[in-house]
Amino acid sequence: MSIKLKKLARQLNCSYSGNGDIMIMGVRDLLEEEPNYLSLCLSKDKKLPEYLNNKKNKNIILLSRYNMEGFHCILVSSKNMNEKFQKILSLFEINESIEEGIGKNIFIGKAFKKGENISIGHNTVIGDNVMIDDNTVIYPNVTIYNDIKIGKNCVIHSGVIIRSNVEIGNNVVIENNACIGNTGFNRGFGKGKLELTLPLTGKIIIKDNIFIGANSIIARNDLSDTIIGSGSKIDALVYISRGVKIGRYCRIAGQAAIGDEVEIGDEVSIGPKSGLYDKIKVGHNAFIVSKSGVLKNVKEGNKVVGSPATSVEDWKRREIFLRKVIKKWVKVKKWLDEL
């Protein structure tokens, strides 16, 4: 999409300077000096040219660099700045939508219930007793097993597999190739064969306003349900094992692994490449630093780091002690070498 500078200013209820007929092609960072693109930054930012800092208006500046010799500016008051910025981004948002309705080569099982304004892409497989609510978009090549409920305004991207007995709330986004409801690691190794320990009867319950990143896996348990709380965000390549309970508004970064039946409170942050051992509990507002190995419970509000994970304060004391020991050892070694 492209839009003239003067028309954009009019839509934002802003003033502009320079040639209003310049075509604005999109939004970029100020350091990316791409012609005909709009940038946003604070007027006090050191990256802005000095003459812009001298302007009377010291609020947010939306800056369009159309060549290397000058600028054209839209000056935006500080009121409703976030709202206007969101509006600009929405104007230039990349369009990935598919046509409303049901595409080609679709297999749909028995007792299928669908809401209004849903979209289902080509080559999608939908099993028996599936319900998809209003305004949900399912991209091509998605596989949905039996006994699935998907709420309103969800987006299921290509390659996703949703296995049986899964409930998905409203406003959920599942990125490419995620697998929801796999068997997990609940298999026993017999003599020369791989055998199931118990049949799987637990549900996967994904509540409202959740993001699940690409290639992530959420496993099903034998008895208890696996639950993801409202507002949580799960990054790409995250493994959530069977029976895990995740609270509301949690953030789990890429390549984290959460063991069987771990309970995580609300507003917990888990850094990338961290591992949580089976059946531990993590309290509300805890923070797990990246690459930590958490082997025991984490109290509410605690910040832990390392493997095995410990509080940041204990980790710092340990690091200081080890550095002192190393320095002393270097001195002793030097003295021994001189003997």
Question: Tell me, what's the pLDDT at 108?
Answer: 95
Question: Tell me, what's the pLDDT at 22?
Answer: 84
Please list, residue by residue across 286-322, b when 16 or more beta carbons sit within 10 angstroms of its beta carbon and e when fewer do. Answer: bbbbebbbbeeebeeebbbbbeebbeeeebeeeeeee
Q: How far, in Å, CA of 127 to CA of 143, rounded?
A: 8
Question: Tell me, what's the pLDDT at 83?
Answer: 78
In DSSP notation, 152-206 reads: TT-EE-TT-EE-SSEEE-SS-EE-TT-EEEE-TT-EEE-SSSEEESS-----EEE
Nearest to 226, CA basis, from 266, 168, 267: 168
Nearest to 286, CA basis, from 305, 313, 273: 305
Q: Do residues 259 and 238 make contact, with C-beta atoms less than 8 angstroms apart?
A: no
Nearest to 319, CA basis, from 330, 332, 305, 329: 305
Question: Tell me, what's the pLDDT at 68?
Answer: 40
Question: What's the CATH architecture for 3-91?
Answer: 3-Layer(aba) Sandwich (3.40)
Q: Residue 327 belongs to what H/E stretch?
A: helix 312-338
What letter represents residue 164's amino acid? S
Return residue ranges of the chain for CATH 3.40.1390. 3-91
Q: Do residues 273 and 252 make contact, with C-beta atoms less than 8 angstroms apart?
A: no
pLDDT tens for the chain, residues 1 to 339: 788 888 888 888 887 777 788 888 888 776 665 778 877 654 455 555 554 555 444 445 566 654 445 566 776 666 677 777 788 888 888 878 787 888 889 999 999 999 999 999 999 999 999 999 999 999 999 999 999 999 999 999 999 999 999 999 999 999 999 999 988 776 556 666 666 667 788 999 999 999 999 999 999 998 899 999 999 999 999 999 999 999 999 999 999 999 999 999 999 999 999 999 999 999 999 999 999 999 999 999 999 999 899 888 887 887 888 888 888 888 888 888 877
Longest dimension (CA), the chain: 87
Q: Is the peptide bond before 308 cis (omega within 30 degrees of 0)?
A: yes
Question: Tell me, what's the pLDDT at 30?
Answer: 63
Return residue ranges of the chain for CATH 2.160.10.10. 160-308
How long is the chain? 339
Question: Tell me, what's the pLDDT at 223?
Answer: 85
In DSSP notation, 91-119 reads: HT-------SEE-SS-EE-TT-EE-SS-E
Angle CA(224)–CA(230)–CA(231) in degrees, nearest 5? 140
Homologous superfamily (CATH) for 160-308:
Hexapeptide repeat proteins (2.160.10.10)
